[in-house]
Structure formats: structure tokens, C-alpha cells
Structure 1
Amino acid sequence: MRKHTAATVLSGALVLSAVVLPGAAQGAERPEAAAGLRALASQSGQPKDAIGGTTFKNGVVNKGKDIVLGVTGKKAVPVTFTAFDEEGVVLTMAFLWQGTDSSSTDTITGALGTDDNPVCTETTVEGGYSYSCKTVFTIDPAVDFKDGNGTAGPWKLFLGAYDLYANASVDDDVAKGGSIKRAAKLTVNATPEPVKKGKTITVTGKLTRADWSTGKTPGYATQPVKLQFRKKGSSAWTTLKTVKTSRTGALSTTTKAGVDGDYRFVFAGTFTTGAATSPGDFIDVK
């Protein structure tokens, strides 16, 4: 077996310049690489979403989980996939994209820097060569999504390859269902404490979520949130009711004191926003 990175045998080709450019310039050049790969691969006459002699499968982004981003801090996103080619592959490339055209400069994101090129381990198999590939995308919400929150939601994985004879192959969507979401956070406060059995407990809190365009975390309005209770000594949580956040993201509800235990709020998440669970707040019932 041997390992290789993307910029090896064919690094001099113009269409491959995107995989070795650093920083912000890299994202702008990737559409040219995608377009070049597609133009060459389309000569095969195969469907546009999987064209060329190299085939791809088992694409996994972020270990199959949503990519949930706050307003600060870089997120390392692992990507793995496998490829097969009868003649052998000398170059692979990968990036995340969104929309209807993987060659559009407005829909490309992915890693920053020059260390994100897929590293592949080659294995000789019946009929050709199999490649187990991996890379890590580094996504910085303060840079990649500073223009707005409209990019939150499903994204796709673009994979491309050249074989030993410079034949190109691409696949627009190897990994299905991946999403980049805005991070949410929940707080909780149950009062009074201690409280007499049968008396009213007031539980308050707030649901906030990341706003990439402002770098702040405002309240998330009119969202359903579950109030849950866990009896002291138990590991099981029981849902008591569902309440909605106010237009500022605030939560307030009441319940009757029964036994000692913890109260918490749970938000299931949305199409564009990640799930959130508050810490538990313990109430001592006298």
C-alpha cells in the first residue's frame, strides 16, 4: 500500500491550481477546478452527478453528524471516502458545496490552508485499485459565513479524481444529507428552592443561537422547547410539557413540586439550527 496527496503527478495542470492555494484564494479557485474536472469527465457521456472512470462511495462528512458552528472558533471537520479505478488514481480533490451548481463561486466552502488535500491509501484489488481517502476541512464561521446565515442547511460533498492517463472523474454528492447548522444554547433556572411539596415551581430560561453575520447570539423566537424532569437518583428524564420561546427567546412556565429532582429545557433543533439541552437545575422539595 502507498499514500499520496492531491498535488503530486499532475500538479502542473492549470485546472488543479485550486488544491494548493492558501487561505481565501483557495475557495475562489475551487470552482475553476470543479469546472475543469467536469469538462474533461463529461466527455464520457455519463450522468453529470457521477461521471468519469473513477467511482466514489462511502463518503462521510463529520462522522455522519451535523456540523454545528457557533460564532467563534474554527471547526475541524473530518471527511472520508473510498474510490475505485481500473488503471489507478494519481490525484483526488474534495470540498463542500451548496446550491445547484458546484462550479459556482457563491456555493463553495471547505478547508483553509494547504494541508486539506485528501490523503489516500492504495490497495490492489480484483479489477483495479481501491483507495481509502481522508482529509480534514477547517471551517471558520467568522470568515466563511460572515456574509450571512442563509448558507445554514444541507451541504453536499464534491469529489474529483484523475487517473494515470489524466482522465477526469467527478461526483457531486457522494455523502447524502450533510448539514451545516447554527449552534443553539439553552439556560434554565427553577425557583424557589427549597420548595414545599405541592407548591408551584417557576422554571425560566432562554434559547439563543449563533448569528454568523453579526458575531452575536441573539434569542431564538417562537420555538418549541420541552420542559423535562428527572427524579433524584434516577437517570431517566420525563417530559412534563412543551412551551414556546417568546420573541426574545425567553422561556417561562410553571409546574407543581412533587419530589426532589432536576429540571431542564430541551430544544430539538431545526432545519438550520442545531439541538440544545440546558444543564439540569436541582430543586429540593420539603
Structure 2
Amino acid sequence: MVEIKTPEQIARMRAAGLVVAEIHRRCAEAAVPGATTKDLDDVAAAVLAERDAKPNFLGYGGFPATICTSVNDVVVHGIPDRETVLASGDLLSIDAGAIVDGWHADAALTVFVGEGHAPEARELSRVTEDSLWAGIAAVRKGARLVDVSRAIETYIRRQPLPPSGKYGIVESYGGHGIGSEMHMDPHLLNYVDRRRGRGPRLVPGFCLAIEPMIALGTPKTHVLADEWTVKTNDGTWAAHWEHSVALTEEGPLVLTAPDGGRARLAELGVTAAPDPLA
């Protein structure tokens, strides 16, 4: 069952989304050579405390940290620790969430640590982020869930190939519904699987966490012995971008973007919904 939110509930999710946006801003600033991934986790915990919000990652299924920090060939669910020291040239994905008044938001971004990044790493992150926005632009009344998947995959497939010869759209992980819980129905693939049908119709009150994950090689992954850290099978680097999005009567509202998604959606010819907290 898909949980349909009221405008009041979406406003609470927007409040949680703004906390996540601040976590991202502060963690991105702190992601410098010499910092540990635990340092970033401490930054995120401080933001949550300052905003009187709760973490939705900490303790989820036994996860031991406030955020996920995934470096280079780690696709998702990297656990922050004192041993992982960031170096110039690293590609780091930061996945964070927050709960405000019982309502969730969840988002991820990929940042470049220091300098010296290969052009294909920069292009990987750009393609992943832009495919996210292509998916967000497909969130409209009357569309089906598969239309979001198709928009993401179509954008990726139309990009010039990297030196490795392909972009691997990670198959085992994808987006999800979000609201009174962090992970809810429906599951959102980042590619079209015709065996799954078209999925539910999108209506006002439908909320999704859209999160493409792309590697510079294989889409196949494996989980380490810690039962969380997900790496690419061939050791190629990966990028991860995510936003929580609500469909309203006025259009999509990007709950975890500081401006509600207005600027990026305008570039794609889509008008973002008014911010209920503005």
C-alpha cells in the first residue's frame, strides 16, 4: 500500500528535508583531506541536535551511525569510522536522513574531496545527479512509477560513454516511498524492468525518495562482512545522488533541496510546487 500524504504532512516532511539539506551543506564543507568519515558523522549528529530532529539511519536495522559515507568503489551504506581518512581525489557519497514530528526525509549527494579528480569521475557524478533531476521532472499527476524509472535510465543511456565503455546502473538498490517511515512502498528502480509492469499511478500526496546509483563499470555489487557496506564487484568507482520528492496539486516539491527544486526544475521546463514553509 502506498501512503498518500496530506498537505500538512508534506509540510512536516519539508521541515525534515531542510534539516537534511543543512546536514549535506555542513558535511560537504567538512569533507576535506585528512578528515575521517566519523568526523562527518559527528557533524551530522550536531546538526540534528541543533534542529531538534531525530536521525532515521542510526539504529535502522542495526545501522551504527547517523549517516552513510561511501568512498570511491563503495556504492552505498558505508559506515563512518575513525580509520577511513579522506584523501585528495576521493569521491565521497554522503547519504543522510532526518525525522521531524514523526515524518521522514532522506537524500544523498556526491562530493569531490580536495583536488586531482579524474575527468571520468567528475562526469560520473554529473550524469548521476542529472539523471536524478530527470526522474524528478517526471513526477507529475497521472504519470506511472515506471515513467520515473524510464526518465532516469533514458537520460543515462543518452550520455557519452566514459573510458571504461559503460555506465553501470546499480541493479540491487533503488528509490522508495517515504513518509511516516523511511523506507516504504513502492520500490523504485533506476531502469525499466518490463516484468514489473507500470507500477502505481502518481497522485497528489505521493512521496518518493529518488536515488540513482551509477558505477563506471559493472552494475553488480556485493556486501562486505559488516553486512552494510556495498561495493562494486569490479572495483570501479560509483556515485549516488538522492532527493525526497512530494507530488502536490501544484506539481513536484523537492523536500530536501534548499529551494524546493525550483531552479533545477525550471531548467527542465517544470514548475516546482510552492514551499509550504516559505
Q: TM-score, normalised by structure 1?
A: 0.28
Q: Per chain length, whose mean CA-contact separation is higher, i.e. which structure has more relative contact order (CA < 8 Å, sep 6+)? A: 2
The answer to which structure has the higher strand fraction is: 1
Q: TM-score, normalised by structure 2?
A: 0.29
